[in-house]
Amino acid sequence: MPTRDQVLAALDGGTDYAAAAARLGVHPGLAYLIATGFPADGSDVVTAEEQRRPGVLPGSSQHLANPAVHAPDAGGVVHAWLRRRAQGDAQMAAAARARTATPGPQNDPGSTTDVVTVLTRQHDAATSLVKQLDAIPGRSRGGTPAQASERESIVDMIGKALAAHETSEEEHLWPRVRELLPDGDRWADGGLQQEQEATETLSALSRADPQTEEFDDLVEELMPRLHRHVAYEDRLFLQLRRAVPDEERARMGERILAAQRDAPTRPHPDAPREPGPAVAAAARSAAPVDRARDATGRPADREGRPDPGAPG
């Protein structure tokens, strides 16, 4: 056991109690008690005269007696505990099985065909799916095979929604944006680039195993891209409301909705992106193939017939 003089000597030169105690082989709180005669936990009332003793700290000394405050890692402790509780709760498990990722009723289900309203509703539906996707843990966050299947289903719904949405925009929105807005080329080029990036990511997701970290990484890449694109088009819609008469916006919305009825339901990253007749032709060619795949779960030939030799 070190003496008072040894502790004070170890403190000489500005060394703190933790370093001095480590050098002497004792606990910092014990070193403080030896040097000052006071417990480090502050349980003694120290007079003004006693405060002037060598070694007494001007502030609190409790950190020498008590362990440092530690904030546990929620990801490693709390989340695991919550998962175990949720998985063991019969009512929560039943609610999870009954839940569907299909978007609920749209806000403002009126009959307007204003292109801004039409596309904003579709953005809301896609955003709802993205929120559900983010709430379900993937493999990298300890997700179960059932949860991986849910995530795959939601990604498939996002892909179908965006395939029709983006194809109709390429055919009927972006050409009019170029014509109607002073900086329309800049808006259209930016929007088309974002749509191409999202389509490539969705196409990669369609090939990835949902129970792998590759799938999780692609989902993490997709979600911010979709959020950025929705925000981008929301800013564009403000420009359209100012610059385009109500009647023209209604006609644009009608064309968008009509195009979506015959649009592809899968991402096609190699399809033409620049607006023009090629977009409509490619969409009409791809749509039967996609619908055959939706109906059978199998790839199809170019006429839309299921390929009997393809894996199910």
pLDDT tens-digit profile, the chain (312 residues):
889 988 888 888 667 888 888 888 898 889 888 988 888 887 777 788 888 888 888 877 887 877 565 555 555 677 777 777 877 888 877 766 665 555 544 444 456 899 999 999 999 999 999 899 888 998 888 888 999 999 999 999 999 888 899 889 999 999 999 999 999 999 999 999 999 999 999 999 989 999 999 999 999 999 999 999 999 999 999 999 999 999 999 999 999 999 988 877 655 455 554 545 555 545 454 444 444 454 445 443 333 334 444 433
Both tokens assigned to 142: 């300890």
pTM, two decimals, is 0.55
3-state secondary structure of 275: coil
Q: 74 with 47: CB under 8 angstroms? A: no
Residue 308 located in a structural domain: no
Q: Are residues 126 and 168 in the same domain?
A: yes
Residue 234 located in a structural domain: yes
Nearest alpha carbon to residue 151 among 113, 99, 197: 99
Fill in the DSSP letter of residue 306.
B
**SS (HEC) of 60-120:** CCHHHHCCCCCCCCCCCCHHHHHHHHHHCCHHHHHHHHHCCCCCCCCCCCCCCCCHHHHHH
Residue 303 located in a structural domain: no
What's residue 267's pLDDT?
59
Q: 180 with 240: CB under 8 angstroms? A: yes
Domain boundary among 100, 118, 144: 100
Q: Are residues 122 and 249 in the same domain?
A: yes
Length of the chain: 312
Residue 278 located in a structural domain: yes
Q: Which residues contact 204 (CB under 8 A, 6 or more apart)?
A: 218
What's residue 110's pLDDT?
53
3-state secondary structure of 273: coil
Domain count, the chain: 3
Q: Are residues 128 and 77 in the same domain?
A: no
Instruction: Give the integer Cα–Cα distance in Å for 113 and 258.
Output: 11
What's residue 60's pLDDT?
79
Q: Are residues 39 and 91 in the same domain?
A: no
Both tokens assigned to 242: 């100012």
What's residue 304's pLDDT?
39
Task: Kindly report the CATH number assigned to the domain that includes residue 222.
Answer: 1.20.120
Question: For residue 165, how many other CB atoms are within 10 A of its CB?
Answer: 22
Radius of gyration of the chain, Cα coordinates, nearest whole angstrom? 32
Residue 138 located in a structural domain: yes
Nearest alpha carbon to residue 198 among 214, 219, 169, 178: 219
Q: Are residues 139 and 249 in the same domain?
A: yes
Q: Are residues 178 and 248 in the same domain?
A: yes
Domain boundary among 100, 117, 145: 100
What's residue 311's pLDDT?
38
Residue 192 located in a structural domain: yes
Q: Are residues 276 and 146 in the same domain?
A: yes
Identify the domain containing residue 22 by its residue range: 4-65
Q: Which residues contact 275 (CB under 8 A, 6 or more apart)?
A: 170, 171, 174, 175, 178, 188
Q: Are residues 196 and 140 in the same domain?
A: yes
Task: Give one DSSP letter per residue of 140-179, joined into a string.
Answer: GGT--HHHHHHHHHHHHHHHHHHHHHHHHIIIIIHHHHHH
Q: Are residues 139 and 282 in the same domain?
A: yes
3-state secondary structure of 192: helix
Q: Are residues 22 and 112 in the same domain?
A: no
Q: 232 with 191: CB under 8 angstroms? A: yes
Residue 18 located in a structural domain: yes
What's residue 100's pLDDT?
56
Fill in the DSSP letter of residue 274.
S
Nearest alpha carbon to residue 113 among 163, 161, 168: 168
Q: Are residues 184 and 159 in the same domain?
A: yes
Residue 311 located in a structural domain: no
Q: Are residues 27 and 149 in the same domain?
A: no
3-state secondary structure of 213: helix
